[in-house]
Chain A
Amino acid sequence: MEILSILIPVSLLLGGVGLLAFIWAMKTKQFDDPSGDANRILMKDWDDKPKQ
């Protein structure tokens, strides 16, 4: 049963990482244009000098 003292924090940590990733994605407005983002990945233009 001692293994629980490792496993529970680990599982909480992993879930927490997922939650933080979700909150970060939302704060940086990544859910504002879902269909645009889905299509942008298919664009053929090669950007030599992406914006910094």
Chain B
Amino acid sequence: MALAEVEHGGMAACPACVVAPMAAAQAQVAARGRLMLSLPAAHCAACISTVEGALAAVPGVASSRVNLTMKRVSVDADAEVTAEALVAVLAGVGYEAHELDAGLLSATETDKQGRELLMRLGVAFFSMMNVMLLSVAVWSGAEGATRDMFHWISAAIAVPTVIFCGQPFFRSAWAGVKVGRLGMDFPISLALVLASSISLFETIKSGHHAYFDAAVMLCFFLLLGRYLDHRTRAVARSAAEELAALEVPRAMVLVDGAEVVRVISEVAVGDLVRVRPGGRMPVDGVVEAGASEVDRSLLTGESLPVFVGPGTVVAAGEVNLTGPLEVRVTAAGRDSSLHRMADLVAVAESAKTKYTTLAERAARFYSPMVHILSFGAFGYWMWATGGDLRFAINISAAVLIITCPCALGLAVPAVVTAASGKLFRKGLLIKHGTALERLSQVDTVVFDKTGTLTMGAPELVDVGAHPAWALQVAAGLAAGSSHPLARALALAVQAEGVAAAEVSDLREVPGYGVEGQWQGQPVRLGRADWCGAAPLDVTATYLRAGDQTQAFAFADSLRPGAEAAIAALTAQGMRIKLISGDVPGAVAALAARLGIVDWVAGALPAEKVALVRALTAEGCHVLMVGDGLNDTAALAAAHVSISPATALDAARTASDIVLLGQDMAPIGDATRIARQATRRMVENFGISAAYNVIAVPLALMGAATPLAAALAMSLSSITVSLNAMRLK
């Protein structure tokens, strides 16, 4: 409920931004000439001065400021200064930098919601301290006029504080009442209002007890919980936005033969788009001119590059490997297959929000109980005292204050903050509020292969098994190409200490391979049919020299930490499954390498979803780890999902947790920490329940003084926070 309110508040601030968020943001950026770069490696004072110094030396840069918390630098510069130039300058001084889409980030820049909460928290803290000091005098036995004066001063501080600081609770309680739902915020609001008004009434009548201190303390602790919750979400959101902002989507459109760079949203159906080797297809389309090979692994899971030529249909998200292609656009932007997939994900997402969190379950049980207790006490004392309204209201206010979920409000946010902070330092970004709880229930882990367990980068196998001449010639030919297989081959041969042979007349034939002359005979390195070799069933490239052929087989290199992660998960008693869209040969080899018994090859995206659904139907809680478009639906269907930062945008959107680094080992820690965090939450509920069990009977009997209320509240809040920090 807090989240809904937060998003709502943010939107209301700028109605135009809701209608056209991108347009508004872009207009802003253009006017200011502001560039935003991400600096993942910045970490110290020296980094700040080096980066700011280097940028200040660039002509046209007015000023730059590093934000070390966000690991970003924002640059105010003239319009002609480009982000690429600045990235190059920073690379020159040894810092990796990426351009960020400032438009996507503007929301976090003006994080009004957080600042507002912090302000209310500060005010509540000030009031709490002052009212508490005044209350100490009353508790230690101030009488008559002195007590009244202290009560009046407390009232003057506490009433405005409750009105100002309680607004987030009042608002969300009212929103809940309107849709006929009583959340945790309703008893909170009721307690705040009732405690303040009964205390004010008592003060006017110069009564003995006033609960001003309890009202402001309640405000403070609950706002603290709210603020922690907001901070956790804000950090996750800004990091997630940063990932999205990293891919500034542009396409090179051919207008009358000239290349014009355009934003994807401005590309129309029928345009001709040029895609350079190494670039990702920005649109769906049909190849008009050029020949090349494309890597479809992110879309289908196949690790083998596919040949494309004029007439071949290509889809957004595929990577062009060898030759430049001219593509006639058939669908762009929202209509492209990438986006249609993302829409499917949105449907699956809505199912996921139906998960009831521990806190919601607790609130559902707890909310009615508080009201019944309070009204029961009111009714009983009305009857017992023969209609003493003032006394009865006093008791029911005391019950409300004592049972008020101060500790409950802190119990979950404190644990979630501690756990996500811990995981963030390990390189895991928790995107979804309930992901930690869902992760703790996982008993089955389903992995994708290409790009998830492997890096999607090929590695030559059995270097020693090839004759020396073949290695030399292949390395000589491979030097003439930037195809991933050629580069992997050249690297492997170099690592082996074999010198590349002198190959003359090197020529790359896009889509086929490289050819040249070696010792007077023509040599070729490339596709099997082009070299006249018998194709293998694994990823391979072929060498032809004269009438001899040689096949070089490749395996995908393993992601670092994959073995450790699988070992850790197995040790935790998880069932592990591997599902891939790749050919059986490649999948079997990898499964054997990692010790996974249960694997499926050649799975279509729909089969992956079906498998995850079948496992769920069996009663398993599935954790899906995947990166490609073909995993997207399965990621959304799983109980909880993780994707690496290198995954496609759609896959990252669909998953609950993003793995920021290359290393996969943190997944093993994540499940452990999630289980521990959930245990702490349950313990925290137990602790606050224990305080209630002691204090509520006192309150019901009318023996709860304001001092007892203050003690119970602060002690339970502190114990709960300390317990949350025990997380290891």
Which residues of A pack against B, CB within 8 Å?
1, 4, 8, 11-12, 15-16, 18-19, 22-23, 26, 31-36, 39-45
Chain A contacts for B70, CB-based, 8 A: 33
Chain A contacts for B122, CB-based, 8 A: 19, 22-23, 26
Which residues of B pack against A, CB within 8 Å?
44-46, 48-49, 53, 66-70, 115, 118-119, 122-123, 126, 129-130, 133-134, 146, 149, 153, 157
What 5 additional pairs, Cβ within 8 angstroms, besides A12-B157, A15-B129, A15-B130? A22-B126, A34-B69, A35-B68, A36-B67, A45-B53
The answer to whether A26 touches B69, judged by C-beta atoms less than 8 angstroms apart, is no
Closest to A14 in B: B130
The answer to whether B123 touches A19, judged by C-beta atoms less than 8 angstroms apart, is yes
The answer to whether A35 touches B49, judged by C-beta atoms less than 8 angstroms apart, is no
**A contact face: mostly helix, strand, loop, or mixed:** helix
Contact of B49 among A12, A31, A45 (CB under 8 A): A45
The 10 closest A-B pairs by CB, nearest first: A36-B68, A39-B45, A42-B45, A19-B126, A33-B67, A22-B122, A33-B69, A35-B68, A43-B45, A35-B69
Chain B contacts for A36, CB-based, 8 A: 48, 66-69
**B contact face: mostly helix, strand, loop, or mixed:** helix
Shortest CB distance A41–B (Å): 8
Chain B contacts for A19, CB-based, 8 A: 122-123, 126
The answer to whether A26 touches B115, judged by C-beta atoms less than 8 angstroms apart, is yes
14 contacts between A and B (CB under 8 A): A12-B130, A16-B126, A18-B126, A22-B122, A22-B126, A23-B122, A26-B115, A33-B68, A35-B69, A36-B48, A36-B69, A39-B68, A40-B45, A43-B45
Chain B contacts for A32, CB-based, 8 A: 67, 69
Closest to B44 in A: A39
Bound CA span A42–B47, Å:
11
Bound CA span A35–B43, Å:
9
The answer to whether B118 touches A26, judged by C-beta atoms less than 8 angstroms apart, is yes
Shortest CB distance B1–A (Å): 25
Chain B contacts for A40, CB-based, 8 A: 45, 48
Bound CA span A7–B315, Å:
76
Whether A23 touches B119, Cβ cut-off 8 Å, given contacts A1-B146, A39-B44, A45-B53, is: yes
Chain A contacts for B68, CB-based, 8 A: 33, 35-36, 39
The answer to whether A44 touches B130, judged by C-beta atoms less than 8 angstroms apart, is no
The answer to whether B130 touches A31, judged by C-beta atoms less than 8 angstroms apart, is no
The answer to whether B48 touches A44, judged by C-beta atoms less than 8 angstroms apart, is no
Chain B contacts for A15, CB-based, 8 A: 126, 129-130
